[in-house]
Amino acid sequence: MSRLVIVSNRVAVDKGASRGSQGGLAVALNAALRRFGGVWFGWSGEVSNSTATEINATTVDNVAYATVDLRQSDYDEYYFGYANRTLWPLFHYRLDLVDFHKRYSEGYFRVNNLLCSRLLPLLKPDDLIWVHDFHLIPMGGQLRQAGCRQRIGFFLHTPWPALEVFRALPQHEAIMRMLCAYDVVGFQTERDFRAFGDYIYREAGGSVDENGIVNAYGTQTRAGVFPIGIDTETVTKYSEKEANSRLTQRLMTSLGNRDLIIGVDRLDYSKGLIQRMSAFQHLLENYPENRGRVVMMQISPPSRSDVPEYVDIRQELEAAAGHINGAYAEFDWVPTRYLNKGFARHTLAGFFRTSKIGFVTPLRDGMNLVAKEYIAAQDPEDPGVLVLSRFAGAATQMTDAVIVNPYDVESTGEALQRALHMPLEERQARWRAMYADLCRHDVADWTKSFLDVLSGVDVTPDMFVV
């Protein structure tokens, strides 16, 4: 059996005891690595002044974790610059925030090359290589140029932007050529896949057939849709266990008999946090019966705090929450709770189970696993309602959520009112449909689907429909 080599910007070392605190994706990838045996390779998360040639290696059972530090200039240009200030806003349709700099793009290709050169000596001839996310698109092409003949797959966790948006990227052609060098390219949704296909037809003059076979730039690749899932069973177990935990009980006591609306997102401008606050304000303004009766808790751990746009969103969110509290709070009720910190996954599962509404309204999101975890954590007898943005990849699967347009804050406020008063039977019917799908298509199913295609085992036609 081939070994599996996972390559991603960040590496999640599986320390066994710490498994419970890892995200679902890290757990699933580690499980796949343990099954195949192999290597997880990427950036260590550290910046060092040395020459960045050293590999930090740890082995746990049959899995080796190999990481490299970045020099300050590499971090600045590749991660801070091109990944976080160019590709991230562009892939999330925020052309107004995109910062193009030649040195950023040069740093991006340079660091990808550096990572390739460190990875190559670790490879064995029949390895399966699986590269993840927008930080590392060039690796496929660069590994090929360096003579790598193993099968290489790529999965994009973020959205793939529409043709006109992607064409705004000065390096759009170079990036696309690199993407087409992979054997398999996976997207979260059909929307992303179609946007990619659009570029292939209209800009690259290539073709995509009904099996997802892409011919462009003189090479052939296979593209498909592989919507990522969560570790459904674990989240459900956590939520059952946490229902009576000390923290969940404290939360419930603090609420009294008020209804809780919960949002959990990295503090990122793509998450629609300001519009979300406005929608909640609309609810309080237009349905005054909710005043004193409903609390909105927004949990947003800081993220990429050295990027100026993330400093701005933090200030804006603090101001928006403060504004609502200033306008509506009473001596015995504060409408919004904004927490600028993270919680363990199991704690969140308990919080989700306690919440009447899961409020997930990104302006653009590859998938959004919070939407899925919220549903997995509900009590089947008395489930809450998911209010979900149509611009989250999850909305293409979770059609029984209350789907909203997050830019339309008035309608989103109306949706909150509907969700708060939804009859039990309707809540149960919606929840049952979504939960069944989450059980069928969990994260283990996702890794298996992708790796089956990459290793040439399985071809599931609906993954490749154009």
Give the catalytic positions in this structure. 157, 365
Give the residue with the Cβ less far from ligand F6P, 237 or 304: 304
- With CB under 6 A as the contact rule, the residue among 22, 158, 275, 355 that binds ligand F6P is 158
Q: Which is nearer to ligand F6P, 24 or 141 (CB)?
A: 24
Show Cβ contacts of residue 432 under 8 Å, excluding neighbours closer than 6 positions: 380
Strands (E), 278-424: 294-299, 336-339, 357-360, 385-389, 402-404
21's CB contacts (< 8 A; 6+ apart) are: 344, 345
CB of 302 to ligand F6P, least distance (A): 10
Q: Is 242 in the site for ligand F6P (CB under 6 A)?
A: no
| Residue that the structure tokens 């071809």 belong to | 459
C-alpha span between 66 and 54 (Å, rounded): 10
Tokens of 413: 């406020």
Residue 91 or 109: which CB sits closer to ligand F6P?
Answer: 91
| Residue among 30 and 412 whose Cβ is closer to ligand F6P | 30
- Cα separation, 235 vs 345, in Å, equals 8
Q: Whole-angstrom Cα distance, residue 185 to residue 455? A: 13
In the bound complex, what is the minimum distance in angstroms from residue 225's beta carbon to ligand F6P? 17
- In the bound state with ligand F6P, the residue whose beta carbon lies nearer, of 73 and 303, is 303
Contact flag: residue 10 with ligand F6P (CB under 6 A):
yes
Tell me the closest approach of the beta carbon of residue 395 to ligand F6P, in angstroms: 17
133, 309, 400, 442: residue in contact with ligand F6P (rule CB under 6 A) = 133
- Site residues (CB under 6 A) for ligand F6P, limited to 275-304: 303-304
Distance of CA 256 to the CA centre of its chain: 33
Encode burial over 6-25: b for 16+ CB neighbours within 10 A, e otherwise: bbbbebbebeeeeeeebebb
Taking the complex as a whole, the smallest distance from the CB of residue 25 to ligand F6P amounts, in Å, to 8
430 with 176: CB under 8 angstroms?
Answer: no
CA angle 79, 82, 85 (to 5 degrees): 95
**What residues have CB less than 8 Å from 405, skipping those under 6 apart?**
389, 390, 391, 411, 412
> CA 162, CA 93: separation in Å to the nearest integer?
9
Closest CA relative to residue 149, chosen from 109, 111, 181, 177: 181
Q: Which of 118, 144, 157, 353 binds ligand F6P (CB under 6 A)?
A: 157
Nearest distance in Å: CB 404, ligand F6P: 22
Q: How far is the CB of 203 from ligand F6P (least distance, A)?
A: 24
Tell me whether residue 312 or residue 426 sits nearer to ligand F6P (CB atom): 312
Classify residue 393 as exposed, middle or buried by CB count within 10 Å of its CB (0-12, 13-18, 19+).
buried
For residue 10, the cross-strand partners are 43
| Position with the least CB separation from ligand F6P | 157
The yes or no reply on residue 47 touching ligand F6P (CB under 6 A) is no
Nearest approach, Cβ of residue 12 and ligand F6P (Å) = 9
| 75 vs 435, beta carbon nearer ligand F6P | 75
- The residues binding ligand F6P (CB under 6 A) are 10, 133, 157-158, 303-304
